[in-house]
Structure 1
Amino acid sequence: MGDNQQQKVSKRRVFYIPGYDPIHPRRYRELYRKEAAAQAQTSGYEIALSPKSGGGAYGWHVEARIEACDVQADVEVLVWSDIVRDSMSNSVPATYWQMLRTSWEYIATGALWRLMKLRKGPVIAALYPIGALLLQLLIAVLIGFGMAYGGATAVDALVALVTGSKGGAWLGPLVYVVVLPLVAWAVLQWFKARDAKFYIYYLMHDYAYSARYRGANPPELEGRLAEFEEVIAQALQSDVDEVLIVGHSSGAHLAVSILADLIRKGRVPDDGPKLAFLSLGQVVPMVSFLRDAWRLRADLQFLSAQEHLSWVDVTAPGDGCAFALCDPVSVSGVAPENKRWPLVFSAQFTKSLSPERWKALRWRFFRLHFQYLCAFDRPLDYDYFQITAGPQLLADRYANRPPSSSRIDYAVSKFTSTVPGPHSGTLSGAVSDTTPKTSP
């Protein structure tokens, strides 16, 4: 697009749906401000942020000049961090109970083994908090045992010194009963107080949130999704050129359900703004592979065949927390014959980041999970800021972009039901074929 006559987008509404994150959404504004400036300097365009005007969700206003075009975008964060915080137990015993319950759900149903057929990274990330919590418990018990042993030995020696006999030997076991649990408890609390460095409790709460209802949405989350749907429906009635939904991490599968509901209800006007969906670093299989995730599977199946929107799914093998290049519809076993979406391709971290930058980020797993929202010093065809504040529609930007040849687009999930019912691998509306398919 070299001139303003060809400009497709001059005004855009962007709705960002974060993943399972208890932090205030201002972090996303600051991240956008910092990284947009860095990308603009690298790529040679102009972009600036200002406060959001009017009510509604938390957000900001963007003005950019990209490809000789002036574009305005209003970015809003659809907040559910309060639900996340409420779901995060402050109790050590409750977290260990979550660990047992979540482990049972994924292991006993076979979901864990099927997830491992996709990508090892996110499965290792899921096993990390379980292994770490067990290790912490072992350390706590060993320290408690050592302290109790020392205390019991000292008590026995003191009694023998005072009485001249071992008649007080019963005090030793009593010391174990008192000291061991108290010390172990103190050690576990010490570990928990330092979880900001290790993300063990945070990740355990994350996986437990989906497993608690076996992949179904909790009532409070369903209510929030309905509110998000209303906000997006209103934006589709406004005088903008594109309404773009960005779902990151767990926010991707929330966006799938919101958009499916929106289209089913006929709330996408034919003469309104173009509707686009960008899923980033998605972890859809962690939920869709669970036995009661029929609502999500039905939404994936429905959305994948729609002409009312464009859906682009971007991941990267370098992101160990995402199911990189796994078509979320196909691997969930619900791909319909008329499947159109998503277009699956890689952000290619190892190529779009310089060797020096990649080396600095390579082992910062959680930071890499947010790289989709950040600047690249050697950008290729993925640029978050041109997508959210540039003059091209998402559909046009990637109209001729082929999907990544290394994507996984065949059914892997055991549970493929799209309606409520008995826990069965293949129910009404399911696709059980496990042979590779070719994405559109």
Structure 2
Amino acid sequence: MEKFKRKVFYLGGFDPRGVRFYHQMYRDQAARFAQLSGEPVAVSGRRAGPAGSVVSTHWSIDNPQAGVETDYEFLRWEDLVGKVWIRNPLKLGLRSIATYIGHARFMQFGRMKKLRPGPVLTICYPPVLAIVIPLLFALLPALLLWIVLPLWAAALAGVGISALLSGRWLNKLVVPWLLRFTYYHHSLAAGGPGPDLDARLDRFAERIVGEMDEPWDEILFVTHSAGTILGMSVMRRVFERRAGPLPDRFAMVGMGQVVPVVALRTDARWYHADLASLADKAFHYIDLSFPPDGAAYFNVNPLLLCADAHAARVDMLSPRFHLFYDPENYHGGWSNKYEAHFDYLRVGDRLSPLDFISLTAGRRSLDQALAAFRTIP
């Protein structure tokens, strides 16, 4: 039997952990997929991509029972994330002040709320909690200790207790990560990609275009989280570099889409131009965003944020994670918001036609997977 050959380009989010973390995560989820499906899936080690290891890293996926081979190319920008990843809490606090001043001036919060109210809360609660939680952890112990200690000693003790405990609670509620994410995208909206990221996006587009005429049965450009923002800029570059129409076997998949974070900034004119340029372009775009994911814009078509119509074939779907997880394993609740945002890359307790491993290593083509998913009541 002739094998089905798939090419996957993966562009991830604002995360400094990079390729080693995501390769191991893929291996772990492939093993879970194999256990549930009865289809052994072999995931190779990592190797540098044709454009060099700074641009991308490859691994191969073999599902012999399904007759599928996948070449997986992880598009790398974690080194650029690492350069702007703020570790000093004081510096992060100061940068966050500038961030929210910028958002107050330029973010279309009214329009954002009409599109999807959840992400408005996700953007706005981190600075509030970053102030309230340390203050409570300092104030309550200080007031209690003031009964037996002088005011200055009680105040110092309260500050010490807050320093010990507040960081743990802020991390549990994903406040530092969200502040970093928000600061970065404020800077991106206001100043554009900058020379380093701009050059990297060019290389990503060149890699995708370079594979379009190769003998693949399917080519998927999969973006996740903040990668969905950059993915639209990559697509603009793909169309600039591609002489003819994109092949029918190519599709772009957005998971946990957050494009409005930049697109709804009135000062992000460079990004508005990228989105507007895609309005008359024919390609297949699939958006998988889950309503309970507070960061994602479920049922918000990014191609309509800067245009009144589009030529693309667009499928807007919820991955409906709750159907594929047992209740005790489902990532629900405020303390699991960060983990829920990564469920797009996981396999649940039952297989979905649209889970990440099924899409990238499974026997169904993308259109077959979409059709199968739509039959699920």
TM range (shorter): 0.7 to 0.9
Which of 237, 241, 258 is the equivalent residue of 1:265? 241
1:250 is displaced (CA, Å) by 0.6
Q: Is the 8 A contact 1:136 1:188 kept in 2?
A: no
- Residue 246 of structure 1, CA deviation: 0.8
For the pair shown, which has the larger CA radius of gyration, 1 or 2? 1
Once the two structures are superposed, what CA deviation does each residue of 1:143-186 show, in whole Å capped at 9, x if it has no partner?
Answer: 898799899958xxxxxxxxxxxxxxxxxxxx79xx97998599
Partner amino acid for 1:362?
G
Change (3 A) 1:335 1:269: closer
Paired AA for residue 302 in structure 1: S
1:367 aligns with 2:339: yes
Q: 1:35 aligns with which of 26, 29, 38?
A: 29
SS where residue 98 of structure 1 aligns? helix
Map of 1:58 onto structure 2: 57
Corresponding residue number in structure 2 for 1:104: 101
Distance 1:247 1:374, change over 3 A: same
Q: Which residue number corresponds to residue 121 of structure 1?
A: 118
Q: Which amino acid aligns with 2:119?
A: P
Partners of 1:357 and 1:268 lie apart in 2 by 46
| DSSP-derived class of the 1:27 partner | helix
Alpha-carbon distance in 1 for matches of 2:210, 2:44: 22
Aligned residue pairs total 367
In 2: Cα distance, 1:102 partner to 1:10 partner: 47
In the alignment, is residue 335 of structure 1 matched against residue 312 of structure 2? no
CA distance in 2: counterparts of 1:261 and 1:399, whole angstroms: 30
Within the candidate set 205, 225, 246, 1:249 is matched to: 225
Q: Which residue of 2 aligns with 1:46?
A: 40
CA drift of 1:195 comes to 5.6
Q: CA deviation at 1:353?
A: 2.9
SS of alignment partner, residue 46 of structure 1: coil
Deviation readout 1:359-402 (Å, 9 max, x if unpaired):
xx222222111111111334444232232123554356447988
Change (3 A) 1:356 1:149: closer
- Choose the corresponding residue for 1:77, options 71, 74, 79: 74
Gaps of 5+ in 1: 155-174, 403-440
Q: Secondary structure at the match of 2:43?
A: strand
Q: CA deviation at 1:80?
A: 1.4
Letter in 2 for 1:318: P
CA distance, structure 1, for counterparts of residue 273 and residue 372 of structure 2: 28
Q: 2:324: which partner in 1?
A: 352
Label 1:335 to 1:64 Cα distance change in 2 as closer, same or farther (>3 A): farther
- Root-mean-square deviation (CA), in Å? 3.6
Aligned to 1:294: 269
Q: Output one character per residue of 1:194-232: Cα deviation in whole Å (capped at 9) or x when no partner.
A: 865443222101011111243553313222212222332
Structure 1 counterpart of 2:208: 232
Gap change, CA 1:267 and 1:376, over 3 Å in 2? farther
Q: Distance between the aligned counterparts of 2:38 and 2:117, measured in 1? A: 38
Match of 2:298 in 1: 324
Q: How many percent of aligned residue pairs carry the same amino acid?
A: 26
Cα distance change of structure 1 residues 238 and 137 upon mapping to structure 2, 3 Å threshold: same
Counterpart in 1 of 2:260? 285
* SS state at 1:212 partner: helix
Aligned-pair CA distance for 1:25: 2.0
Distance 1:362 1:140, change over 3 A: closer
CA contact (8 A) 2:61 2:72 kept: yes
Distance change >3 Å, CA 267–CA 391, structure 1 → 2:
farther
- Aligned mates of 1:305, 1:181 — CA distance in 2: 62
**AA aligned opposite 1:118:** L
Show the counterpart of 2:7: 13
Q: TM-score, normalised by structure 1?
A: 0.72
CA contact (8 A) 2:129 2:170 kept: no
Query: Structure 1 or 2: larger helix share?
Result: 2
Of the three residues 343, 348, 355, the one matched with 1:383 is: 355
**What is the CA distance between 1:341 and its match in structure 2?**
3.7
- State the shift of 1:113 in Å: 3.1
